[in-house]
Structure 1
Amino acid sequence: MNSRKLVGFFFKTLFIGGLAGLITSFFVKAEDYSNILSPIDFMELLGLVVFFIGLGLVFAVVSQTGFFAYLFINRFGLGFFKSYWPLVQVLLIAFVLFDLIYFPYQATKGEVSIFWYILMSAAILVYGWIIAKIKAKETQKHAFVPALFLMVVITTIEWVPGLRTEGTDYAWLMIITLLACNTYQLLALHRINKSGKEQETSNSAKNKPAKNAGTKKK
């Protein structure tokens, strides 16, 4: 991946984060919008839109940081654990899913039913499973576990600040934005690399006839 594609990759992730944050706010913060729209206050509405876009951009940067950390962790894990690395990742996925249920439930002291935390963890797992299957289908079968690791473990680690906020509004804003950004980064990276390799092959193929022609003239 050259610098131009890396910059494009960065800004596209930012755009997706800002858009996801804004769209999610329409549902999560619907009351804030309704207060401004009756009667309508354009300056307040603009301020609210800019705020949630900015919040989405911040979450997108968090996602990018986690994604590049994941690339390093994956390489380190392959070198350190070797053939056991997929098993280690599966165990970490199970551990994180358990934590997503147990610790938030303990923090509420039973005020919120454990069913909702189980449903939340299951939803993240199912979504991650679908994205990981797509990744494995478009690349190689062994890419499934690392992709699932990113969508579950890395996304959850990135989500920790959102889980610590009071209420659920900003937790929802953050997790949806993180999932959107991580999905794009995971599925776009191999496509960008593939297009780059195809372009290099095409350029080298174009240069060969020119070299051959020059040889014949001599």
Structure 2
Amino acid sequence: MTIRNWIKFFLMSLLIGGGVTAISSLFIRWDFFQPYLVAGEFGEFIAALAWMVLLGFTMSVIAQAGYFAYLTLHQVGVNIFRTLTLWNWVQMLLILVVLIDLIIFRFAPGAETAKDWLFYIGLLLVLVFGAVATAVQKVKMTGKKHILIPSVFFMIVITSLEWIIALMGRQDNINTYVALLLFPLVAVNAYQLLMLPKYNAKSEEDRKNLEERRKARKLLKIKQ
């Protein structure tokens, strides 16, 4: 990828992270924003919303680091297990392990009531259905069925590792951030998975155009 296209990719991911966090925070943390609006403190409201955008930017950067780490991991996995089929089976096993870990070691310690369990199961469904929907769309875009499992693996396993920042917390209002941080991670990771090939293709096109311009300039100098 060229530097120009990488910057576009980075900034768009950043905007998605910030925008999704800001919008979701208005629903998830309405109790935080409402007093400012009731009191007419619109400056404080905007400052609070800006803080949420900044939080989204941070999660976007974490998601981008996680994605490029996964690209390396995927290649290493294929090299170690020799075939993509075997590596896919390993990824399926890891997906199952991560989901069990989320339920037993992350959700269970903080779930004291049925309402808590509904909350956590709802977030788990967001993660799983978001992963499956993104993976299915990836297959449709590429026409390659074998990338279904790697896509689900990335969306569930890598997103869960990025989400661990919130899941390991035990503060009184930690559930708010557990929910709030999931949405930008899913959104940014879905965008990266679906859109990176387009940026790569655009980079390849830009390199070809640049090479053609260089040849044209050389030809012009020869004629002169």
- Structure-2 separation of matches of 1:210 and 1:47: 52
State the shift of 1:209 in Å: 10
Instruction: Find out whether 1:188 has 2:195 as its counterpart.
Output: yes
Instruction: Find out whether 1:122 has 2:129 as its counterpart.
Output: no
- Structure-1 separation of matches of 2:22 and 2:120: 25
Report what 1:70 is aligned to. 70
- Alignment partner of 1:151 out of 146, 151, 155: 155
- Alignment partner of 1:177 out of 163, 180, 184: 184
Report what 1:102 is aligned to. 104
* Percent identity between the two aligned chains: 33
TM-score (norm 1): 0.87
Instruction: Find out whether 1:44 has 2:44 as its counterpart.
Output: yes
State the shift of 1:120 in Å: 3.4
Report what 2:165 is aligned to. 161
TM-score (norm 2): 0.85
Deviations 1:16-51 (A, max 9, x none): 111111101100111121100112112211210111
Report what 1:214 is aligned to. none
The amino acid across from 1:123 in the alignment is: V
Instruction: Find out whether 1:132 has 2:135 as its counterpart.
Output: yes
Q: Do the aligned partners of 1:101 and 1:114 also contact (CA within 8 Å) in 2? A: no
State the shift of 1:205 in Å: 8.1
Deviations 1:137-173 (A, max 9, x none): 2122211111111100000000001112333111111
Report what 1:142 is aligned to. 146
Unpaired runs of at least 5, structure 2: none
Q: Do the aligned partners of 2:21 and 2:53 also contact (CA within 8 Å) in 1? A: yes
Tell me, what secondary structure is at the counterpart of 2:82? helix
Aligned length: 216
State the shift of 1:201 in Å: 5.8
Q: Do the aligned partners of 1:163 and 1:171 also contact (CA within 8 Å) in 2? A: yes
Report what 1:15 is aligned to. 15
Residues 174 and 138 of structure 1: CA distance in aligned 2, closer, same or farther (over 3 Å): same
Q: Do the aligned partners of 2:70 and 2:158 also contact (CA within 8 Å) in 1? A: yes
Q: Do the aligned partners of 1:100 and 1:117 also contact (CA within 8 Å) in 2? A: no
Tell me, what secondary structure is at the counterpart of 1:40? coil
Unpaired runs of at least 5, structure 1: 212-216
Say what the alpha-carbon RMSD is for the aligned residues: 2.6
Q: Do the aligned partners of 1:104 and 1:117 also contact (CA within 8 Å) in 2? A: no
